[in-house]
């Protein structure tokens, strides 16, 4: 199926240094895309660039004022990206009464504010050049159903899911598609603090009808599909990749 290939496309993947972000970047590269990946850590950014034969990109999602300059620099060095994956994000699992204002702001800035302003900076570039593009936001099942200790995280992902719809609506006639995926608990660095708690992990596993947690490879195919021409009539949608967690 050639429309699932990404040859000739250039992708920007945020948070590509490890876990799900690295797996997504590797899947896109395997399908023929030129991949640029970001990290907050300059050394990690160097490793990402070496892996994909591109240039190191250090990006802090909290520094939104820098995004227009970042996108302009990306345009110069890459010739222009046409695929964007908003993967970078954080979680600070706490009972709601223990969430501090600093916790709340950190989660919202990384998961929602940063993704929004990076996306609009990229889209503004596309609109000015009258170019299309495809965007996938990495949301979460926590944005679809309530999960304990996820007040800030779940709220940020629910907002990201709604933002996906709004941006898709605004940009559809400009050839820009915006979709999201909502994974269940996937075994990465981000979820280690949760899944390493045996009692809590057993409770969560009991909520997944398929009977297992996700692996990064479970998510990457859906991301690649939504970015590809095979999904050319799909926009504003969120695909739950959750083993059935949210069906009841």
- Residue range 79-125, pLDDT digits in tens: 999 999 999 999 999 999 999 999 999 999 999 999 999 999 999 99
For residue 23, give every residue at least 6 positions away whose Cβ sits within 8 Å of its Cβ, in sequence order, or none.
216, 217, 219, 220
CB-based contact 160:111 (threshold 8 Å): yes
* % residues pLDDT > 90 (the chain): 93
2-240: CATH architecture: 3-Layer(aba) Sandwich (3.40)
Predicted confidence at residue 196, as pLDDT, reads 86
The three-class DSSP label of residue 29 is helix
Burial 131-163 (b: 16+ CB within 10 A, else e): eebbbbbbbbbbbbbebebbbbbbbbbbbbbeb
- Domain parsing of the chain, residue ranges: 2-240
Q: pLDDT digit string (tens) for 189-217?
A: 778 878 888 998 999 999 999 999 999 99
Which pLDDT band, with edges at 50, 70 and 90, does 1 fall under?
low
Which pLDDT band, with edges at 50, 70 and 90, does 126 fall under?
very high
The three-class DSSP label of residue 187 is coil
pLDDT over 70 (residue 3): yes
Predicted confidence at residue 107, as pLDDT, reads 98
Question: For residue 235, which of 180, 181, 182, 177 has the smallest C-alpha distance?
Answer: 177
Q: How far apart are CA 160 and CA 238, in angstroms?
A: 10
pLDDT over 80 (residue 164): yes
Phi, psi of 172 (to 5 degrees): -60, -45
Please pick, among 36, 52, 66, 153, the residue that the annotation labels catalytic.
Answer: 153
Q: How far apart are CA 154 and CA 33, in angstroms?
A: 31
CB-based contact 154:146 (threshold 8 Å): yes
CB-based contact 121:132 (threshold 8 Å): no
Q: How far apart are CA 135 and CA 176, in angstroms?
A: 8
* 245 catalytically annotated: no
Q: Name the DSSP class of 16.
A: T
């Amino acid at each position: 199926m050639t429309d699932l290939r990404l040859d000739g496309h250039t992708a920007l993947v945020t948070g590509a240094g490890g876990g799900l972000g690295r797996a997504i970047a590797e899947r896109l590269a395997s399908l023929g895309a030129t991949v640029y990946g970001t990290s907050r850590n300059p050394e990690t950014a160097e490793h990402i660039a070496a892996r994909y034969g591109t240039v190191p990109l250090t990006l802090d999602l909290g520094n939104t004022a820098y995004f227009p300059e970042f996108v302009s620099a990306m345009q110069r060095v890459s010739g222009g990206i046409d695929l964007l994956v908003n993967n970078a994000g954080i979680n600070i699992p706490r009972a709601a009464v223990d969430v501090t204002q600093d916790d709340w702001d950190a989660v919202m800035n990384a998961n929602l504010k940063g993704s929004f302003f990076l996306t609009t900076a990229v889209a503004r570039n596309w609109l000015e050049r009258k170019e299309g593009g495809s965007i996938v936001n990495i949301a979460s099942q926590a944005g679809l159903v309530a999960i304990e200790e996820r007040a800030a995280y779940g709220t940020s992902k629910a907002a990201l899911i709604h933002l996906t719809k709004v941006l898709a609506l605004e940009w559809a006639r400009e050839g820009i598609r915006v979709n999201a995926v909502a994974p269940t608990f996937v075994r990465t660095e981000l979820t280690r603090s949760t899944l390493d708690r045996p009692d809590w992990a057993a409770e969560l596993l009991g909520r997944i009808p398929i009977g297992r947690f996700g692996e990064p490879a479970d998510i990457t195919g859906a991301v690649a599909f939504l970015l590809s021409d095979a999904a050319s009539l799909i926009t504003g949608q969120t695909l739950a990749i959750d083993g059935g967690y949210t069906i009841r």
